[in-house]
Amino acid sequence: MASDQNEYGLPIGKGEKRRTARLLPRYYRTEPNKKFIQATLDQLTQSGTVKKLNGYVGRQNAKAVTGNDVFIETVTTDRQNYQLEPSAVVKDTLGNVTFFKDYIDYINTVDVLGGVNKNLITLWFNFKQTTKT
Q: Which domain holds residue 55?
A: 51-76
- Does some domain include residue 7? no
Radius of gyration of the chain (CA): 26
**Which has more confidence, 5 or 118?**
118
Contact 97, 104 (CB under 8 A): no
Q: Has residue 64 been placed in a domain? A: yes
Burial readout 75-111 (b: 16 or more C-beta within 10 A, e: otherwise):
eeeeeeebbeeeeeeeeeeeeeeeeeebbbeebeeee
CB 63 within 8 A of CB 57: no
97-106 long-range contacts, CB within 8 A, separation 24+ = 104/78, 104/79
pTM above 0.75, yes or no: no
pLDDT of residue 131: 62
pLDDT at residue 91 greater than cutoff 90: yes
Per-residue pLDDT of 13-23, as tens digits, reads 666 677 788 88
In this prediction, residue 121 carries a pLDDT of 75
Q: CB neighbours of 7 closer than 8 A, spacing ≥ 6?
A: none
Q: Taking 60 as the threshold, does the pLDDT of residue 1 lie above it?
A: no
* pLDDT tops 60 at residue 105: yes
- CA–centroid distance for 70 within its chain: 23
- Does residue 22 sit within a domain? yes
Q: Which of 1, 2, 4 is nearest to 29 (CA)?
A: 4
pLDDT computed for residue 126 by the predictor: 60
pLDDT in tens, 36-52: 988 888 888 877 778 88
Q: Number of structural domains, the chain?
A: 3
Q: Which residue has the higher pLDDT, 9 or 71?
A: 71
Residue 44 sits in the same domain as residue 56? no
Predicted confidence at residue 13, as pLDDT, reads: 62
Q: Examine residue 98 and state whether it is found in any structural domain, yes or no.
A: yes
